[in-house]
Amino acid sequence: MITFLLSFFTCTIIFPLYFLFFPDCWNKCIHHILFNFLKIKHKFIKKSHLIPHGYILANHRCFLDFAVDPYFSKSSVLGRYFAFFAVSFISLCGFKDKRIIPFHRGKKNANQVLQIIKKHRRLKNKYSSRILFYPEGTRQKYKSLNSPSEFKGNYLKYGLLKRIWEEGVMPVQLMITGNKEHVFNEKKWTIRFGVEVKTVLGEPLYPVDYDDFGGFVDAIAEQWVEYYNEVLDD
């Protein structure tokens, strides 16, 4: 517990304050935390071309998600105010670089969240064209996924995805990463160094290719289960 608390303090306060006045401070801070402090060993086991614009759909396991996922997808991240508050001064770097899109859960519907995203896109900086969000809605603990129907029925939230399909303008791309919660687990108060973190960056899915929302969701779920099982430890 002591190691966790000291590391959490260092990563969320000391490092961000040091990098806060650097250009591109959020990226520099996250790089330092992941590779120099936590010493993660990251590799893409499957990597498609990163979409130039659209939505990155990532799996939600722990607070470390907000560092790992936007860093490797070169994106801005959508999330609750509380989640950004929890990682303290790291979020200051994210706000400074305009890479954070906060909202209040329960107070905004999918249409309102989509308008917040569109407003962010109008910034037209190098990170605003890709928006990362977590379609599971909250941190998940499952260790295995056996079928797309299991994922759709138990974990996937449909609201924002339905609006994305209805607009039919932007593609989505899945980025599924394993072992994030083994590096940093705020629920168990544990931290590990030198963990191998594996990622799949999937083939883009275009809403216009699907005649109905069900087909679009089926494609997402099929990729999700496939990629999740690929990044699991043997």
Q: Which amino acid does the sequence have at 192? A: R
Span 2-231 CATH architecture: 3-Layer(aba) Sandwich (3.40)
Beta strands in 17-171 (DSSP E): 41-47, 54-58, 76-80, 100-103, 130-133
The pLDDT assigned to 175 comes to 98
Q: Which amino acid does the sequence have at 83? A: A
CB 134 within 8 A of CB 63: no
Per-residue pLDDT of the chain (234 residues; tens, 9 = 90+): 899 999 999 999 999 999 999 999 999 999 999 999 999 999 999 999 999 999 999 999 998 999 999 999 999 999 998 888 888 789 999 999 999 999 987 778 999 999 999 999 999 898 999 999 999 999 999 999 999 999 999 999 999 999 999 999 999 999 999 999 999 988 899 999 999 999 999 999 999 999 999 999 999 999 999 999 999 875
| Strands 100-103, 76-80: pairing kind | parallel
- Rounded to an integer, what distance in angstroms lies between the CA atom of residue 71 and that of residue 132? 10
**For the chain, what is the largest distance between any 2 Cα atoms, rounded to a whole number of angstroms?**
54
The pLDDT assigned to 52 comes to 96
- Rounded to an integer, what distance in angstroms lies between the CA atom of residue 24 and that of residue 9? 22
CB 13 within 8 A of CB 92: no
Nearest to 56 by CA among 142, 162, 129: 129
The pLDDT assigned to 234 comes to 55
CB 59 within 8 A of CB 140: yes
